[in-house]
Amino acid sequence: MSLPSDSVEPTEDGPDLRPGKLLAGRYLVEELIGKGGMGAVYRGLHLELGEPLAIKFLLDSGNATIRRTRFRREAVALARLRHPGIVSVIDFGEEDGELYMVMELVHGSTLGELVGSSELTLARTLDIFDRILQALEAAHAQGIVHRDLKPANIMVLDSEDGVDHVKILDFGLARLDDGTGPRLTATGAVQG
């Protein structure tokens, strides 16, 4: 996963100690590439394979137990999904009490960045939405509902073939309809 560089925010709690950190003996944390309400995403490197990747860390705020459960649920949801229109999870773990998720690194622009640009014609918009709907259909077929779909959570990938490929990101508020586990959002509560 890759986020636009203008979405990078400095940490509020002092210097960022994550760059240079080694996770599970094989993932090197490099630079911060994006930060949202639930997590911070870093560019990383799989040392054994030499492959770039994205590493998402859970931010420590609010109700830690519920946030940790949601973060795990996002990892499980993404790991279950195998679709070209949904960002793939490679690994999940905990290091020094900090949860992290390793994902594919994607490059492009968010749909939000493209909205209103002259590059976004009606035909291109319809093609992008068709691809988004195909990815959502695959998620729903596995009992996974995104619940936070917005232009900022959809990447339109850089492409050399002239075809718009999309990746849906951030399943942090996803609901897994597998009949197990408690509901983490109270009825009437607003998330996002």
* DSSP 8-state assignment for residue 190: -
Return all residues near 162 (Cβ < 8 A) that are at least 6 apart.
none
> For residue 6, what pLDDT is reported?
38
> For residue 80, what pLDDT is reported?
84
| pLDDT higher than 60, residue 4 | no
Catalytic residue (choose from 13, 148, 161, 170): 148
**Considering the domain 5-103, what is its CATH architecture?**
2-Layer Sandwich (3.30)
**The tokens 């949202």 sit on which residue?**
36
CATH number of 108-176: 1.10.510.10
| pLDDT higher than 50, residue 189 | no
22: helix, strand or coil: strand
What is the mean predicted confidence (pLDDT) over 97-125? 92
What is the mean predicted confidence (pLDDT) over 49-73? 87
pLDDT in tens, 113-167: 999 888 889 999 999 999 999 999 999 998 888 878 899 989 999 888 888 999 9
Spell out the domain ranges in the chain.
5-103, 108-176
Which sign, positive or negative, has the C-alpha torsion 134, 137, 139, 144?
positive
- Bridge-partner residues for 25, per DSSP? none
Q: Comparing 163 with 48, which gets the higher pLDDT?
A: 48
pTM score, whole prediction: 0.79
Provide the token pair at 121: 């014609």
Q: Is 13 a catalytic residue?
A: no
Q: Comparing 61 with 143, which gets the higher pLDDT?
A: 143
